[in-house]
Amino acid sequence: MQRGDIIKEVNDTKVKDVYDYNAAIDRAKSKNPRKPIVLLVKRGDSTQFLAVDPEG
């Protein structure tokens, strides 16, 4: 992640704002706290998937 990246989805759930993002992250962690969370991130003209470890 870099400054300016825009998170479009969290585990196939579209997010429009920080509230959607936080809710999607909380849902993902409650389902399986050790499973990586997949983010769809827009950076400039490209979009890519990133898997992140919810435990840090």
What pLDDT was estimated at residue 32?
Answer: 87
Q: Is the pLDDT of residue 56 over 80?
A: no
Average pLDDT, the chain: 94
Place 22 in a pLDDT band, splitting at 50, 70 and 90. very high
Could you tell me the pTM of the whole model? 0.86
Q: Identify the band that residue 11 occupies on the pLDDT scale cut at 50, 70 and 90.
A: very high
Asked if residue 7 lies in contact with residue 33, where contact means CB atoms within 8 angstroms, the answer is no
To the nearest 10°, report the CA torsion of 12, 18, 20, 24. 60
pLDDT band of residue 15 (cuts 50, 70, 90) is: very high
